[in-house]
Amino acid sequence: MENCIFCKIIKGDIPSKKVYEDEEMMIIHDVAPKAKLHYLCLPKTHFALLKEMDDTKAAIVARCLQKVSKLEKDLGLEDGYRVIINQGENGGQTVHHLHIHLLGGEPLGDF
């Protein structure tokens, strides 16, 4: 997608602090961290909303979560973390490329 910030990051056209990459996902540091550790897991396929998932996209999102769980220690999230996927206007989604927020590195308290 031409004007998508995250597609540009995935292509390498916008720099990012990358901590993991494979053929279907990338994990980067959020540019404006809202916790001591704040990562974004980006599926490389562009789509905005969970409701757009077909079986292929759903499998990619599932593998993103599985990979995150395997990387907990490497990411410094072994003491626990919060997973957030903002959806649409009321959800506060500002980048319309589905992404998984990973927040941790400190106790986050409740909502």
Work out which of 3, 94, 107, 110 binds ligand 5GP, going by CB under 6 A: 94
Rounded-to-integer distance, Cα 101 and Cα 94, Å: 13
Rounded-to-integer distance, Cα 78 and Cα 60, Å: 23
Instruction: Report the residue number, 3 or 90, with the smaller CB distance to Zn ion.
Output: 3
Instruction: Report the residue number, 60 or 108, with the smaller CB distance to Zn ion.
Output: 60
DSSP state for residue 50 in the 8-state scheme: G
Minimum Å gap between C-beta 72 and ligand 5GP is: 20
Element containing residue 73 per DSSP (H, E): helix 55-75
Catalytic residue among 29, 38, 46, 99: 99
Work out which of 19, 30, 37, 83 binds ligand 5GP, going by CB under 6 A: 30
Does residue 96 carry a catalytic annotation?
A: no
Rounded-to-integer distance, Cα 84 and Cα 90, Å: 14
| Binding letters toward Zn ion, positions 91-110, x by CB under 5 A | ------x-------------
Relative to beta strand 18-21, strand 100-104 is unpaired
DSSP state for residue 12 in the 8-state scheme: T
Instruction: Report the residue number, 8 or 82, with the smaller CB distance to Zn ion.
Output: 8
**Catalytic residue set:** 99
